[in-house]
Structure 1
Amino acid sequence: MGEHTQAEVLNVGEIEYKLVPNRYLVTEKVFDENFGYRAICERAKAAFERTSTETPLTTEHLHLLKGQLASEVCQSVIDEFEQDQQGIRHESVAQVLIEQVFNEDLDEQIRSYFNSEYCIFWWSIEKVASTDEQSSVSARWHCDAGPTKHLKVIVYLNGHDEHKSDTPFLDKQATDKLKEIGYIFNNYNDRNTNITPLCEHFNVNYNPQSLKPSVGDAVIFNPNQVAHRALPPIPEKTRYALHFCVLPSALHWRDVIENRYFPVYGCQDFMEFAAICKKMTTQALLEEDCIEIATDYQVSNEQHLEYLLANIFSNISLAKALFNHIKSSDFGVAENNNLFALLRFIKNTIISQFDSKQIIQSDWVKALSEIAEYEKSFLDASNCYRIDNKPNPAAVFWPNPEHQASPLSKFDMLPYVEKQPIMDINTPIGSAGSCFAFEIAKHLQQAGYNYVITERNDDALSGLVVDGYQPGDQYAKFCANYGLLFNTPSFLQLAEKAFGVRHFNKLLIQHESGYYLDPYRDNVAFETKAAYLADYDSHLEAVRSALLECKVFIITLGLNECWQLQDGTFLSRTPRENMHHLVNHRSLTVQENVDFIQGFFNIIKQHNREFKLVVSVSPIPLLATGRADEHHVISANCYSKSVLRVAAEQLVANNQDIYYLPSYELVTECCHDAWEPDSRHVKPKTVARVIEMFKEMYVL
């Protein structure tokens, strides 16, 4: 490759170096692009099914495996080589050696490095006698021109302690630097055995690594990625070694050897393998057969039968045994037997293995259990979209008002499936959450439910102000004056404070209006610091009393975005202007939201065993997003509600006494005219529909 490329001459001390800077880029392009090796690697990775594990070779491009070939085998190979150098090249010899060398340990190293299967391109037995270093090209520092991803495996048939021959290596960083300055991949005859002055000149870390392998040891390395040289044997000594060139492959190396390509003897041109690989890929595609699935559950071909059995039974040997039994039993897939007849036949075959006079084999017990699981899975899949066996037949398909047989409008339905009567109108009930939660609280009180109220604000001289509530009002905002709770950590903090689980600082924020604000209680203000302190303990007692009295409690999850104080606690809403030095903006994960509400529920449940929680997601969208550098507020709102909805689903799945009220779905999908003109708040009639749905779902 480019033997006549013009080189730059650099004299360092008394040594002349000829350099072709960045020649490696040309080499990479020729092999990886022109010869197609990058595509070969990508196809191999895409087809890879076996697991691989990280090994030292993966990161260092070099590894030594001790005792890869038994010493007696090594000596036998040397003896046969000396007796008949032509005869030892026969494929039968190669087959025996390859099976012994490419054992499980070496296999793990190679597939881990490639992250794919691989094949053996060529092999050879090398005999090296002592010689003048300068006369041998391989004795000079170099990398092998070839694909960037290939490996060489050298198995030493006699050890370093006998001949002192070795293969010193430089690390990847030093090699890359030598590539850039143009020493690596310069012309063959311009390479040197002494590159110490060159490395010192370019500040390259020259620290050769010698492995000093013993008899039977295998050196695995990428000769394209680490600079190396062959250190000749000492005088009157000879080194013998097996050499293998290994390349990525979409097929297992045994499959390649047995059916497609047998590694030839002696070093080969990589261009030849690219053509071989293309031929193997074409052959594999021609040999590949599809699994044809016939209509009406007919099992009409052997591929379908084999595929079914492999999916039913985890024991592959048992599946193959059943496959062979079915083929030899006159059952015959050629007769277009259907799946149901096949399953009956398999069950009868398995049951016939249970002989009362013999010990029951666990494999057959497991097989019977697996076919029962398969039949149940088949039945579940078959009934998945049936409407005649569902609690609410209208819940299966999206309502279509233009459907000819069953016209339905989503505006005429409530989006729930089953009723779960957990209360009556006299059951103590409470609520908390965002402004949508207040609307629910108001309608529950108007509808005559036993809404628990342990704290109002009817003392005009208390110095406490609750937004939207005037002393003497008929309807309370919430059970107690905890204000609006927009994010899930605020619920946990409410329970932690009420039951003394965690210490909180008494933070009081002075507002420009002159009022004082508690950052944990949105829409609640104090005229003086004294009013805040006087209310603090009595408020927590009121919260605790409400949570102990309520048997059903409705919460609405409002926002996924929130603000966290430096001490780890969360604001109930957004920070005031004089708080930005104390807070960080957060976007909570699904799991964080689940954990916060689970913590809230667990604390209350410890003190109130009858406590049941109904979770809903507020349909009211974000007023603003703190993620506008990357997301529009509408997109951010969709994400926020999606995260909260998934969190609610997990909470219900994880807890017997947590339920989901689909108010979000009702408002956003099933209400024709749900919104006030601001497009953010819902009309009273919309909330009334939510309460109607709550009553249908949960009230006796």
Structure 2
Amino acid sequence: MKDLDCDELLHKLHETSKKQFARAHLSRRSSLKVDASLWLNDLVDTGLCQVFAEQLSKEPSAFKQAALIDKLIDVMVSEELDKQLISYFQSEYAIASCSAHTISDSDVTHWNYHLTPRQQLTLRLYIQSDGSVAHHGNLLDANSTAKIRETVILNDELEETFEIWCQNNSIDLDKSILPPISVGSGLLYNPTELALKDSDHAKHAFIEICFVPSPYHYKYVKQSVAPVEFHKDGLMNVVLKLTDDCENKTQTTDAFTSFPPTSQITSLQQLRVLLNSIFPNNDFAWHMFTQFIALDPDLKELNNLGELVNTLKLSFQNSIGWSQASRLGTGNIKNLMQLAEFEQRFDNSTTRYAKKGKPDPNAIFWPNPNPKKEDNREPLSRFKQLPFVKRYPIVNKDTPIGSAGSCFAQEIAKVFQEEGYNYIIEERNDDPAAGMVVDNYKIGDKHAIACANYGILFNTPSFRQLAERAFATKPTQKILFQREDGLWLDPFRENVGFYSQQAYKNDYQNHLDATRRALEKCEVFIVTLGLNECWELYDGTVLSRNPQKQIYALVKHKTLSVQENVDNIQAFFDTVKKYNPNFKLIITVSPIPFLATGHGEEQHVITANTHSKSVLRVAAHELVANNTDMYYLPSYELVTQCIKDPWQEDDRHVTVDTVKQVVHLFKEIFVDELS
């Protein structure tokens, strides 16, 4: 059954190999196709054969070493043999197995022939010969072998009565005698068509190589698909591997691929990987690979990446009528585009860390105050860096600007007002009769802490809710919780306290109107993202800060994903943009760390804070990358990496000087100098 399976597989493989044969112009008429055998004189130098013979005599196991097998094959597969093989198969070929044999002067030999597969050739190279014998064996003709094949299938005892059987079936064994064969010569034959018997008591040694049709050049096969096995049973293994490789032609094989330190192409497997990189998931890569390895298996021409790209361009140029470009097929257009994209991608990759063409050449590598001489970089301190590379001059002193977010946002708001920017203020708390108090703001203060009294917004759902409440697209519940000191708190703006429930009711709509006016007026709005942990009410709305103790029955703790943070800020932006087309958003991550974490059972607050800031930073990146009117202000990076002593005594809040440095960074990036 295995033989039949192998015959069928090899037949299909042969058909595939013939269809993509690129060297058909080199094939020629040969008696091998008719006679199924061919003598090859002086195939290998006699001196080298003697070395092989001595090696076989002293250490037969050495012939199982890959290096020796490769050397054997390289010297045996001459240019003449190569032409004979491709002419016979009408395709490329692979080496299925290799074996070495010694016949002593006391050995009795037997007839040998193969039942299957039919598509194969065996090369027997004689490396040692006793010149005193009259001949070296018998090779039956095709008709006689066919008779034997039929009878052997019916009668397993044929060998005992072989000579009698031959006489009865008119097979003249004397006509099948092989002449004396000189060392270095070879016999190429098909063992399924011709039966062979070595002479009894004739001392000689030979190496046999089995060839089968292949879609690839034999050098690539032994290098990357199926290394040659030094025994007779490798044929099925090679056929299976070749079949599998053809069926998965757009994938790289399991072979090890190495790349030299230069752009040189030094192996066929490397060539295949490069072609798959240029034409991913494309039959065209496989097609070009089979063409290239057939025409240049030793990589004498295609020996570097530049030559490969140029050869591909020439192949397009020679196969496509450029004057008739309007009639280009979609397949050709796709392949051309992939080649162009590869060149662009390759150029982009090779210049990725280059200083040339970068807005700030010193921004590529981490600043090192004491670089090594071989680094060829100037000494730089990170404490003297402003961590940005591009300017976006979207602000001047007249630009309506606003902000919201953590306590860090409140500090930034004050500095903008101090420096004379057009900071929009639509709501203060300067009326004692209003019956309310705003944290960090006293009646009569010169500078407001925000555009309106929405308080601190630590998490991204609060920004979404801020816009939804202001524009009445999705109002939140009206809920009040009383603190122990008697103040009433709105969980969606907890930094604002009310002395009575009536004060809350009186302020409710006024506050929403003020927030809406501010968002409609601001052309540039800064949000600082503070926390990734939040508290969610049963209806899905989220508190702006941590809950009061009497609220725990109504909430659950939640840690937001990157996508949830992205969705919240995107919803905030889209809602405001609908009513204010000039609205631009500058996103920054607050450097102020957690006061506490809700994951104390499994994380330290420092670990939880790192996770929180990382998630928010990634969310900010995604938002800016996908929105034209969104920008990033790297205040988090400035404070945590570029300022030596940014913190107040509590090691959480930043100093006034730190806030001013953040505003200076803002001006460097966003303020129009000409204005």
Coarse TM-score class (shorter-chain normalised): 0.5 to 0.7
Deviation string 1:450-487 (CA, Å, 9 cap, x unpaired) is 00000111111210111121111100010111110001
The one-letter amino acid of 1:91's match is: D
Q: Report the more deviating stretch, 436-445 or 298-307.
A: 298-307
Q: Is this contact kept in 1: 2:408–2:528, CA < 8 A?
A: yes
Distance in 1 separating the partners of 2:4 and 2:629 = 71
3-state secondary structure, aligned to 1:398: coil
- 1:300, CA displacement in angstroms? 2.9
Match of 1:371 among 314, 339, 345: 339
Q: 5 Å matches for 1:630-649?
A: 630-649=602-621
CA contact (8 A) 1:301 1:334 kept: no
Task: Specify whether residues 291 and 93 from structure 1 end up closer, same or farther in structure 2 by C-alpha distance, changes over 3 A only.
Answer: closer
Q: Paired residue for 1:619, among 588, 591, 594?
A: 591
Q: Larger deviation: 393-402 or 90-99?
A: 90-99
Report the CA distance between 1:92 and its aligned residue: 2.6
- CA 1:93/1:626 → structure 2, altered by over 3 Å: closer, same or farther? closer
Q: Is the 8 A contact 1:676 1:683 kept in 2?
A: yes
Deviations 1:630-675 (CA, angstroms, capped at 9, x unpaired): 1111100000111111111111011111111011010000000100
Within 2, Cα distance between the matches of 1:416 and 1:262?
58
Deviation at 1:336, TM superposition (A): 7.0
- Report the CA distance shift for 1:289/1:331 in structure 2 as closer, same or farther (over 3 A): closer
> 2:4 is matched with which residue?
92
Q: 1:376 to 1:536 in 2, by over 3 A?
A: same
Aligned-residue offset at 1:313: 1.9
Task: Out of 330-339 and 440-449, give the one that drifted further.
Answer: 330-339
Cα contact 1:480–1:543 (8 A) shared by 2? yes
> Whole-Å Cα distance in 2 between the matches of residues 429 and 261 of structure 1?
72
The runs of at least 4 consecutive aligned structure 1 residues that moved more than 6 Å come to 93-100
Offset of residue 302 of structure 1: 2.5
Distance (Å, rounded) in 1 between the aligned partners of 2:5 and 2:629? 72
The residue type paired with residue 545 of structure 1 is R
Tell whether 2:345 aligns with 1:383. Answer: no
1:493 corresponding residue in structure 2: 465
Pairwise CA distance, 1:306: 2.5
Tell me the secondary structure at the aligned position of residue 397 of structure 2.
coil
Q: Counterpart in 1 of 2:236?
A: 259
Alignment-derived partner of residue 344 in structure 1: 310
Verify: 1:684 aligned to 2:656, yes or no: yes
- SS at structure 2 position matched to 1:298: coil
> In structure 1, how many angstroms separate the alpha carbons of the residues matched to 2:419 and 2:669?
16
Cα distance per residue 1:316-355 (max 9 Å; x no partner) = 5433443344456579613573211221121011111112
Provide the rounded CA distance (Å) in 2 between the counterparts of 1:546 and 1:288. Answer: 62
Contact 1:456 1:481 in 2 (8 A): yes
Shift of 1:303: 2.5
What displacement does 1:259 show? Answer: 2.8
Q: Distance in 1 between matches of 2:652 and 2:481?
A: 28
Supply the AA of the counterpart residue of 1:622. Answer: F
Residue pairs, 1:467-546, within 5 angstroms: 467-546=439-518
Q: Distance in 1 between matches of 2:234 and 2:505?
A: 84
Change (3 A) 1:508 1:300: same
For the aligned residue pairs, the C-alpha RMSD in angstroms reads 2.8
Distance 1:289 1:568 in 2: 54
Matched, 1:549 2:515: no
Shift in Å, 1:365: 2.4
- Equivalent AA in structure 2 for residue 338 of structure 1: N
TM-score (norm 1): 0.59
SS of the equivalent of 1:580 reads helix
Q: Does 1:650 align with 2:618?
A: no
1:374 Cα shift? Answer: 0.8
Give the structure-2-normalised TM-score. Answer: 0.61
Other-structure match for 1:585: 557
Are the counterparts in 2 of residues 353 and 364 from structure 1 also a CA contact under 8 Å? no
- Partners of 1:687 and 1:599 lie apart in 2 by 28
Q: What is the number of equivalent residue pairs in this alignment?
A: 437
Aligned-residue identity in percent: 48
- Distance in 2, matches of 1:448 and 1:663, equals 21
Q: Name the SS of the counterpart of 2:402 in structure 1.
A: strand
- Note the alpha carbon deviations across 1:374-402, whole angstroms, 9 max, x for none: 11111011011011211111211000011
* Distance in 2, Cα, partners of 1:314 & 1:342: 16
Take 1:667 and 1:622, find their aligned partners in 2: how far apart are those partners?
Answer: 15
Q: 1:364 to 1:553 in 2, by over 3 A?
A: same
CA distance 1:408–1:98, change in 2 (3 Å):
closer
Query: Alignment partner of 2:300: what SS?
Result: helix
Alignment of 1:382-461 (within 5 A): 382-403=350-371, 404=373, 405-461=377-433
Task: Answer yes or no: is the 8 Å Cα contact 1:563–1:575 preserved in 2.
Answer: yes
Give distance in 1, aligned partners of 2:311 and 2:298: 11
Change (3 A) 1:261 1:448: closer
Match of 1:697 among 645, 648, 669: 669
Q: Deviations over 1:562-592 (max 9, x none)?
A: 0111121111101111111111111111111
Contact kept in structure 2, 1:516 and 1:525, CA below 8 Å = yes
| Partner residue, 2:641 | 669
**SS in structure 2 opposite 1:616?**
strand
Give the whole-Å Cα distance in 1 for the aligned partners of 2:403 and 2:235. Answer: 72
In 2, distance between residues paired with 1:262 and 1:366?
A: 33
Residue by residue, what CA displacement relative to the aligned partner does 1:214-249 show, whole Å, maximum 9, x if unpaired?
xxxxxxxxxxxxxxxxxxxxxxxxxxxxxxxxxxxx
Distance 1:93 1:351 in 2: 43
User: What's the counterpart of residue 9 of structure 1?
Assistant: none
The equivalent position to 1:353 in structure 2, one of 315, 319, 329, is 319
Q: Aligned in 2, Cα 1:696/1:340: closer, same or farther, shift over 3 Å?
A: same
Cα distance 1:517–1:367, how it changes in 2: closer, same or farther (>3 A)? Answer: same
For residues 114-153 of structure 1, what are the structure 2 equivalents within 5 Å? none
Task: State which of 276, 288, 298 in structure 1 corresponds to 2:264.
Answer: 298
Deviation at 1:289, TM superposition (A): 5.1
- Whole-angstrom distance in 2 between the partners of 1:429 and 1:288: 59
For the 8 Å contact 2:6–2:236, the answer to whether it is kept is no
Q: Separation in 2 of the partners of 1:261 and 1:609? A: 67
Looking at CA atoms only, which structure, 1 or 2, has the larger radius of gyration? 2
Unaligned residue ranges in structure 1 (runs of 5+):
1-88, 101-250, 264-286
| Structure-to-structure mapping, 1:5-16, within 5 angstroms | none
C-alpha distance in structure 2 between counterparts of 1:679 and 1:99, whole Å: 77
Query: Aligned equivalents of 1:569 and 1:365: distance in 2?
Result: 52
Per-residue CA deviation, residues 421-471 of structure 1 (Å, 9 max, x unaligned), is: 111111010000010010110111111110000011111121011112111
SS at match of 1:525: strand
SS of residue paired to 1:299: coil
**Gaps spanning 5+ residues in structure 2: where?**
13-224, 241-252
| SS at structure 1 position matched to 2:587 | strand
Q: Check the 8 A contact 1:488/1:593 in 2, yes or no.
A: yes
Residue 311 (1) aligns with residue 277 (2):
yes
- What SS is found at the alignment partner of 1:370? helix
User: Retained in 1: the 8 A contact 2:486–2:499?
Assistant: yes
Alignment partner of 2:619: what SS? helix
Kept in 1, the 8 Å contact 2:6–2:239? The answer is no
Compared with structure 1, are the counterparts of its residues 261 and 398 closer, same or farther at alpha carbon in structure 2 (3 Å cutoff)? closer
C-alpha separation in 2, matches of 1:362 and 1:261: 36
Q: Hey, what's the Cα distance between the residues in 1 that align with 2:291 and 2:481?
A: 81
Q: Is the contact made by 1:463 and 1:528 (CA closer than 8 Å) also made in structure 2?
A: yes
